[in-house]
Amino acid sequence: MNSPLAGVDSPDHAAAIHPSNSVTPQRPGWVATITGADDLTRAVAEVNALAQSTGAALQVVPQATGHGAGAPVGDTDVLLDTSRLTDVVIDPAARTATVGAGATWSAINAAAERHGLLGLAGSAPTVSVCGYTFGGGIGWLVRRDGLASGSLRAVHYVDGDGRLRTATDDAPAQIDRDALWAFRGAGGVGIAHTLEFDLFPAPDLHAGALLWHVEALPDLLAAWSGIVDTLSGSVSHSISVLHVPPLPLFPPALHGRVAVHLAIADPDGPGAAGPLLHAMRSAATPVSDTWGPSDAARLASIHLDPPVATPAVGDARWLGASTPDVAAALLSTAAGPDSPLVLLEIRHTAGAPTRRSGALVSPPGDFIYHAVGTLDRSTHAQIQDGFAAAQDVWRPVDTGYTPGSWIDGAAGVPGALPTGTRRRAAAIADAVDPAGRIRRSRLLG
Ligand SMILES: Cc1cc2nc3c(=O)[nH]c(=O)nc-3n(C[C@H](O)[C@H](O)[C@H](O)COP(=O)(O)OP(=O)(O)OC[C@H]3O[C@@H](n4cnc5c(N)ncnc54)[C@H](O)[C@@H]3O)c2cc1C
Please report, for the domain that includes residue 17, its CATH number.
Answer: 3.30.43
Residue 342 has pLDDT above 80, yes or no: yes
Residue 13 lies in a domain: yes
Task: Please tell me whether residues 189 and 215 are part of one structural domain.
Answer: no
Task: Tell me the pLDDT tens digit for each residue of 273-293.
Answer: 999 999 999 999 999 999 999
pLDDT of residue 4: 86
Measured at the CA of 40, the angle between CA 153 and CA 129, to 5 degrees, comes to: 40
pLDDT level of residue 73 (50, 70, 90 thresholds): very high
Residue 86 has pLDDT above 90, yes or no: yes
| Neighbouring-strand partners of residue 90 | 97
Q: Calculate mean pLDDT across residues 237-260.
A: 96
Residues in contact with ligand 1 by the CB-under-6-Å rule are 62-69, 82, 101, 122-124, 127-128, 130-132, 134-139, 187-188, 191-192, 305, 405-406, 441
Residue 247 lies in a domain: yes
Residue 411 lies in a domain: no
Please tell me the least confidently modeled range out of 90-94, 124-128, 160-164, 359-363: 124-128
Task: Please tell me whether residues 212 and 347 are part of one structural domain.
Answer: yes
Residue 178 has pLDDT above 70, yes or no: yes
Which of 20, 105, 132, 402 should be mutated for ligand 1, with most atoms under 8 A from CB? Answer: 132
Which of 35, 60, 67, 151 should be mutated for ligand 1, with most atoms under 8 A from CB? Answer: 67
- Percent of the chain exceeding pLDDT 90 equals 91
Distance (angstroms) between ligand 1 centre and the Cα of 186 equals: 12
Task: Please tell me whether residues 339 and 211 are part of one structural domain.
Answer: yes
Task: Give the up-direction half-sphere exposure of residue 229: CA atoms within 13 A in the CB hemisphere.
Answer: 10
Task: Give CA–CA dist 383/380, Å, rounded.
Answer: 5
Please tell me the least confidently modeled range out of 18-27, 233-242, 292-301: 18-27
Task: Please tell me whether residues 107 and 233 are part of one structural domain.
Answer: no
User: Which of 33, 49, 81 lies at the terminal end of a domain, its last residue?
Assistant: 81
Which of 108, 120, 134, 437 should be mutated for ligand 1, with most atoms under 8 A from CB? Answer: 134
Measured at the CA of 371, the angle between CA 370 and CA 372, to 5 degrees, comes to: 130
Task: Please tell me whether residues 43 and 111 are part of one structural domain.
Answer: no
pLDDT level of residue 1 (50, 70, 90 thresholds): low
pLDDT level of residue 14 (50, 70, 90 thresholds): confident
Q: Please state the pTM of the whole predicted model.
A: 0.97
User: Which of 81, 112, 142 lies at the terminal end of a domain, its last residue?
Assistant: 81
User: Which of 48, 81, 114 lies at the terminal end of a domain, its last residue?
Assistant: 81
Range of the domain at 367: 206-406
Q: Calculate mean pLDDT across residues 94-110.
A: 98
Which residues are CB-neighbours of 115 under 8 A, at least 6 positions away? 90, 92, 199
Task: Tell me the pLDDT tens digit for each residue of 325-341.
Answer: 999 999 999 999 999 99
pLDDT of residue 310: 84
Tell me whether strands 191-198 and 96-100 are parallel, antiparallel or unpaired.
antiparallel
Q: Work out the number of other CB atoms within 10 angstroms of the CB of residue 321.
A: 13
pLDDT of residue 336: 97
Task: Give CA–CA dist 205/439, Å, rounded.
Answer: 39
Residue 440 lies in a domain: no
Which residues are CB-neighbours of 324 under 8 A, at least 6 positions away? 224, 225, 228, 229
Task: Tell me the pLDDT tens digit for each residue of 135-145.
Answer: 999 999 999 99
Residue 158 has pLDDT above 70, yes or no: yes
Residue 444 has pLDDT above 80, yes or no: yes
Kindly tell me the burial class for residue 331, based on how many C-beta atoms sit within 10 Å of its own C-beta (0-12, 13-18, 19 or more): buried
- For residues 90 and 15, the model is more confident at 90
CATH number of the CATH domain containing 102: 3.30.465.10
Task: Please tell me whether residues 261 and 382 are part of one structural domain.
Answer: yes
Task: Please tell me whether residues 172 and 211 are part of one structural domain.
Answer: no
Residue 223 lies in a domain: yes
Number of domains in the chain: 3
CB distance 170 to 141 below 8 Å: no
Residue 301 has pLDDT above 90, yes or no: yes
CATH number of the CATH domain containing 354: 3.40.462.20
Q: CB under 8 Å, gap of 24 or more: what pairs does 105-111 form?
A: 105/129, 105/132, 105/300, 106/296, 106/297, 106/300, 109/296, 109/299, 109/300, 110/296, 110/297
Q: Where is 237: in which H helix or E strand?
A: strand 236-243
Task: Please tell me whether residues 247 and 324 are part of one structural domain.
Answer: yes
Task: Please tell me whether residues 144 and 173 are part of one structural domain.
Answer: yes
Residue 94 lies in a domain: yes
Distance (angstroms) between ligand 1 centre and the Cα of 205 equals: 25
Q: Calculate mean pLDDT across residues 241-263.
A: 96
pLDDT of residue 435: 96
Q: Report the mean per-residue pLDDT for the chain.
A: 96
Task: Please tell me whether residues 92 and 77 are part of one structural domain.
Answer: no
pLDDT level of residue 304 (50, 70, 90 thresholds): very high
Tell me which amino acid residue 339 is: S
Distance (angstroms) between ligand 1 centre and the Cα of 406 equals: 9
Task: Please tell me whether residues 197 and 210 are part of one structural domain.
Answer: no
Task: Tell me the pLDDT tens digit for each residue of 198-212.
Answer: 999 999 999 999 999
Residue 445 lies in a domain: no
Which ligand 1 atom minimizes the distance to the CA of 123?
8
Residue 3 has pLDDT above 90, yes or no: no
Task: Give CA–CA dist 86/367, Å, rounded.
Answer: 32
Residue 445 has pLDDT above 90, yes or no: no
pLDDT of residue 279: 98
pLDDT of residue 22: 86
Tell me whether strands 77-81 and 59-63 are parallel, antiparallel or unpaired.
parallel
Which residues are CB-neighbours of 346 under 8 A, at least 6 positions away? 238, 239, 240, 319, 323, 327, 330, 331, 367, 368, 369, 370
Task: Please tell me whether residues 324 and 252 are part of one structural domain.
Answer: yes
